[in-house]
Amino acid sequence: MILNQWYAILPSKSVKPQGIVGLKRLNLNLALFRNAQGELGCVVDQCSHRGAALSKGEMKGNCLMCPFHGLEFDPRGECTFVPALGKASTADLRRFNVTAYPVREKHGIIYFWYGDSAKVTEELPFFAAHVDETYVYSEIEDHWEAHYSRCIENQLDVVHVPIVHHNTIGKGN
């Protein structure tokens, strides 16, 4: 993949209010979540404490709570609470922070920044200048057990269609 680019990774509607979605994109296991204010967060899907999948946790107010020991993380990946230390603890929780990734939403799409977070741009890739309210579109989710480059190559190679798909989309015309 090309570094320092925005990538469309999921429809906005896939992450419900106070919801968590685990997914793999760009060979990264991610946990996407919305907090109580509807703010979107994206962190590595692995708790810094014992490695539990954060996507299997639950939302607790504005934070994603680990399903194993209850550590809480905000949308920036900062650990805000460790239950075993107690509410009165003054311990430095930064050592429990998890990697967070920049995400943005526009046009009903969640975009993920792949690269150096210091180089994040505000401009998201979309063809807004060429689209108006008369356009109709839909989306489909189709998981392929293949590297993304093979999927793209397959879609561009129309010559194989009448041979490989002779009894479905390749017959006739």
Q: How far is 135 from 9, CA to CA, in rounded Å? A: 21
Write down the pLDDT at residue 115.
93
pLDDT at residue 30 greater than cutoff 80: yes
Q: How many domains does the chain have?
A: 1
SS3 58: strand
Write down the pLDDT at residue 173.
58
Task: Express each pLDDT in 104-113 by its tens digit.
Answer: 998 889 999 9
Task: Express each pLDDT in 59-109 by its tens digit.
Answer: 998 999 999 999 999 999 999 999 999 988 889 999 999 999 999 998 889
Q: Does some domain include residue 71?
A: yes
Write down the pLDDT at residue 152.
83
Q: Does some domain include residue 16?
A: yes
User: In which domain, by residue range, is 66 found?
Assistant: 5-119
Q: Does some domain include residue 19?
A: yes
Half-sphere exposure of 99 (CA within 13 A, CB side): 13
* Average confidence (pLDDT) over 41-64: 95
The per-residue pLDDT of the chain, averaged, comes to 90
If residue 111 lies in a helix (H) or strand (E), which one and from where to where?
Answer: strand 109-114
Q: How far is 102 from 51, CA to CA, in rounded Å? A: 21
- 103 forms beta bridges with 112
CATH code: domain of residue 31: 2.102.10.10
SS3 96: helix
pLDDT at residue 130 greater than cutoff 80: no
